[in-house]
Structure 1
């Protein structure tokens, strides 16, 4: 987007390569935006605990709950993890869970000096129709950008062609 912001309205592109470079930058941003909607971030349980989502509620949630909010395609998802502390002398084999969009009951993690285990998971999804429209618009925008790039490439090769 720096490439766009640095030009005034009267700027004229001089080469096809210059336009292609700009189109690549625009397409990269469109792809990132589309991927953000189609692929939720995978977070570890400590990352969710540190995110502050649990602290946004008033009145405050009980300390044995973790909350994650994310977008997946055209849905807003809310996941609530109910936790219980593992006893320090527990015979359970402690294996910290890795990153995931949705953690299962039995997933374990350390938070501070405490070892915790997910005992219950509750997930709620709400369809947001305009998110589906946004996905369609991102896809169509990418297709149009690619078509423009293809046409510019054809004209660039035509102008640089020297038959003699």
Structure 2
């Protein structure tokens, strides 16, 4: 039993001294690849950036939508858009068109936030000198837990959009940039859900109690390839960190107490 424990102690020592840096290099490579898809400055050669304008047609997943929308997505901004939808006035429906102009972009906060958490994770890695020797499982856990937290939050920004109230949508800065402004009984929002860019169009009404109520909601969407890749790379980096943590966690009980 003691011989087995000694073998496991040596394995843990080998992992701490040799394997941790190798895994951290793999994580760093994954994060650098992910960062190429975000409009962030993190020491990356600008020639390696994959941030370019993408012209995107949004459509209903079920077909038959009365909304037509074409946008240009550049990093964390919708820098151009043509939006057409049916608007009811009295008993009639009229076509209404509004636009987003390149001079004033619609900012996608989710992408900004995900990029910020990515930068935070990369900063944590860059603090570790390549010649640093890890002497304990606890020391590695502190770093990995910090990385895992940043990566989880970054991925969640894209995968799990925060629910906003209709008031938040109506009075948001983004709604003010539409030209011409949408009718008072209409609101719209763009948001990210994992690899999809989604636009929701709301018909709204003021209740007798003075509350804003949603009377109907339509949705159109499109899969964005680089967002899909970004989510996958966040996930890969998380797996790399978690696998190393799990491996060390199993051996930690055999760690020599100094």
Give TM-score, length-normalised by structure 2.
Answer: 0.45
Q: CA separation of 1:71/1:23 partners in 2, compared to 1, >3 Å: closer, same or farther? A: same
Stretches of structure 2 lacking an aligned partner (at least 5 in a row)? 1-119
Q: Which residue among 173, 183, 188 is the counterpart of 1:67?
A: 188
Q: 1:74-153 maps to which residues of 2 (within 5 A)?
A: 74-86=195-207, 90=208, 114-153=210-249
Distance verdict in 2 for CA 1:126–1:147, change over 3 Å: same
Q: Describe the superposition over 1:55-101 as per-residue Cα deviations: whole angstroms up to 9, x where unpaired.
A: 12123222222122111121101111122334xxx5xxx5xxxxxxx
Provide the aligned C-alpha RMSD in A: 2.9
CA distance, structure 1, for counterparts of residue 174 and residue 141 of structure 2: 41
Aligned equivalent of 2:155: 34
Q: Distance in 2 between matches of 1:64 and 1:141?
A: 44
Q: What do residues 93-132 of structure 1 show as CA deviations (whole Å, max 9, x unaligned)? A: x5xxxxxxxxxxxxxxxxxxx4333233221101112222
2:176 corresponds in structure 1 to 55
Deviations 1:22-72 (A, max 9, x none): 100100111112222221111121222232221121232222221221111
**1:4 corresponds to which residue?**
124
| Structure 1 residue 14 displacement after superposition | 4.2
Q: Secondary structure at the match of 1:125?
A: strand
Greater per-residue helix proportion: 2
TM-score, normalising length from structure 1? 0.67
Residue equivalent to 2:142: 21
1:53 touches 1:67 (CA, 8 Å); kept in 2?
no
How many residues align? The count is 137
Q: What secondary structure sits across from 1:63 in the alignment?
A: coil
